[in-house]
Structure 1
Amino acid sequence: MTPMRVAVLRCERLPRFVTWEISDVESLFGDDRRLIEAFAERGVDAEPVAWSDPAADWRAYDAAVLRSTWDYVDRPARFLETAAAIERSGCMLLNPPDAVRWNADKRYLDDLDRLGVPIVPLVRGTPADATRIRAAITDSGWRELVLKPAVGVGGSGVVRTDLASLEDVLQAIPSGTEVMVQPFVDAILDEGELSFIFVGGALSHVLRKRPAKGDFRAHGIYGGTVVAAAASAGDAAEVEAMLARLPFDLLYARFDVVRVDGRLAVLELELIEPMLYFDLAPGSAGRLADATLARLAGA
């Protein structure tokens, strides 16, 4: 009997915003290696495949699991074309293509808000909308701000500023670039940002991320720390309710949340290329492998 074949999708190269030297680039792909090992333990032939590899034959795989595809932000249109090609080939893309297309642009936050999922509030627009953006922020009473590009990963292009400096920040951005502006949430600096990771619809593990001293970005590439965390029953129930409101059947999801006025609110929902920190949660790579095989068995 021919073993199942799974492509574990990764990037061809690191995204362009990574302009500094990284001494051991392959160490960034530890999640991928652990997942491939978990598949091997289950008799599945899994291998890393760059999503942008023109020689990739998607018909040769039973499933393609999106993992470290970080450079999709440099070529988002091509990435979505590849997702569609995988779908047409008969290979099962996980997460599913409709969720991928939705999550590739941070407009999904507007949809979360409409679905009743608490989010950190935001104002969206381009530098040409500076007057409207400034007026909306003035009405909201936000003092410290965070500006993010509508498409981005790993904190790329994220700027911390204030209302007085916002116009200068916007003027430094290409005119057609869509951005969103949010209030800076102080809880990021003390309690930290919490990541709730779901696999196969069930909570797998929780992480606490804090920025390095003098920074505000919790991502490890900027010196932030990530540790395993124990969530209270109440917090877990809040985020499980968020997941239940999504209109997708997801293999995995990472909710990055922060506490605002006593309740958790979404900063980001990661369905495409989140680090899942399998090394901090024993058995979690196996859970993702099992959930993948369950999807294939039910297809």
Structure 2
Amino acid sequence: MTGSGTDPMSRAKPMRIAVLRCERLPGFVTWEIPDVESLFDDDHRLLDAFAERGVDAEPVAWSSAEVDWNAYDAVVIRSTWDYVDRLPRFLEVIAAIERSSAALLNSGAAVRWNADKHYLDDLDHLGVPIVPLVRGTPAGASRLHAAVAEAGWHELVLKPAVGVGGSGVVRADAATLQQALDAIPPETEVMVQPFAPAILDEGELSFVFLGGESSHVLRKRPATGDFRAHGIYGGTVERATAERSDLAEVQSMLARLPFDLLYARVDVVRVDGRLAALELELIEPMLYLGLAPGSAGRIADATLARLARPAPG
């Protein structure tokens, strides 16, 4: 992390922080959303929390032309959802921020690692339980079919290797897998996983960590007839109370990562009685701050604490 900071109340000028967001919704959102700005509720709460602390924070679209990142003390990545449509350009912007004097949160290293779902392989190698997967492309469909048959999976989920918000995710079975693959460009990398039935009853659990500490837990369930727990597809989200053993297990997952994270959301589902990671969100997750009073302030405080650390070396 570059840049350094002091107590914002003791500075001649207010500390300036850019809260990164998207310029437009990602391309997969092709339906009308009546209140688009409500999707950015986390951003608004964070901006208010910074303002309460005497910090000059403003929303900035990551794709804005000619932003002087040196004008900010920190850049906090938040609702940059359309990066999936322009990933190379997004990573160029991340690198430009790293070259500036501004602190980038989360770090560029964490962003590059998390931008492609190959990170799940790394989690597996680190000993983190994940929902099993096989990788391939529609052009290599025969290998995918063979791997699914060998694993004995019957109900399947097919996902793109790069994506947000459940974009491009489809449910299939061994018989309809080829039909699903035929709808995807042949060289697009995809993942095939067994469908986890627990998503339909217990739901998907999202553990939110802010400033390295557990903040709140969410239970997400899909709408009737769907399997995607995302709110944009009609899924529901509610605050949940986690079992102490479940929280300890997820904390152990996160502790294996080599990053100092301002925020993280760990999405898990129970497989054969044990929590397994579906996703690890370090770039632009919805944190549902409105369901956890005080959580926006915890992000703001954790940001300022990081800026107050002495510069390394």
**Shorter-chain TM-score range:** over 0.9
1:240 matched to which residue of 2? Answer: 251
For residues 5-40 of structure 1, give each alpha carbon's deviation from its aligned partner in whole angstroms, at most 9, with x where no partner exists.
000000000000000011111111110000000001
Q: How far apart, in 2, do the equivalents of 1:66 and 1:198 lie? A: 15
* One-letter amino acid matched to 1:260: V
AA of the residue aligned to 1:77: P
> Counterpart amino acid of 1:76?
L
Q: Determine helix, strand or coil for the equivalent of 1:164.
A: coil
Aligned equivalent of 2:82: 71
Distance 2:117 2:215 in 1: 24
Which whole-Å CA distance do the structure 1 matches of 2:184 and 2:241 have between them? 40
In structure 1, give the amino acid aligned to 2:192: V
Q: What is the aligned partner in structure 2 of residue 196 from structure 1?
A: 207
Give me the TM-score of the superposition, normalised by structure 1.
Answer: 0.99
Tell me if 1:223 matches 2:239. Answer: no
Q: Deviations over 1:81-105 (max 9, x none)?
A: 0000000012111100000000000
1:42 to 2:45 alignment:
no
Distance 1:56 1:159 in 2: 38
Instruction: Write the distance in 1 (CA, Å) between the matches of 2:183 and 2:39.
Output: 31
2-side partners of 1:169 and 1:243: how far apart?
A: 33
Pick one of 256, 267, 271 that aligns with 1:260.
271
Residue type at the aligned position of 2:70? R
Any unmatched runs of 5+ in structure 2?
Answer: 1-11
Match of 2:147 among 136, 146, 155: 136
Equivalent-residue separation in structure 2 for 1:242 and 1:216 (angstroms): 25
1:280 corresponds in structure 2 to 291
Q: How does 1:1-299 map to 2 (within 5 A)?
A: 1-298=12-309, 299=311
TM-superposed deviation, 1:117: 0.5
Residue identity opposite 1:242 in structure 2: M
Secondary structure in 1 matching 2:17: strand
**Partner Cα separation in structure 2 for residue 106 and residue 46 of structure 1:** 31
Q: Distance between the aligned counterparts of 1:157 and 1:90, measured in 2?
A: 37
Unaligned runs of 5+ in 1: none
- 1:122 deviates by 0.2
* CA deviations over 1:157-194 (Å, ceiling 9, x no partner): 00000011111211221011000000000000000000
% identical equivalent positions:
77
User: Residue 139 of structure 2 aligns to a residue in which SS?
Assistant: helix
Q: Which SS does the other structure have where 2:135 is aligned? A: strand
CA drift at 1:55: 3.0
Aligned partners of 1:271, 1:68: CA distance in 2, in Å?
A: 11
Q: Deviations over 1:48-97 (max 9, x none)?
A: 00000013211110111010000000000000000000000121111000
Distance 2:233 2:182 in 1: 25
**CA RMSD, aligned part only?**
0.6
Shift of 1:289: 0.4
Alpha-carbon distance in structure 1 between the residues aligned to 2:102 and 2:57: 14
User: Looking at both structures, which has the greater relative contact order when contacts are Cα pairs under 8 Å and sequence separation is at least 6?
Assistant: 2
The code of the aligned residue for 1:263 comes to R
Query: SS state of the match for residue 176, structure 2?
Result: helix
Aligned mates of 1:269, 1:261 — CA distance in 2: 20
Please give the alpha-carbon distance, in whole angstroms, between the structure 1 residues aligned to 2:225 and 2:307: 46
- The 2-side partners of 1:224 and 1:56 are apart by 36
**Structure 1 residue matching 2:163: 3-state secondary structure:** coil
Amino acid across the alignment from 1:24: D
Matched AA of 1:223: G
Which residue identity does 1:88 align to in structure 2? R
Amino acid at match of 2:99: R
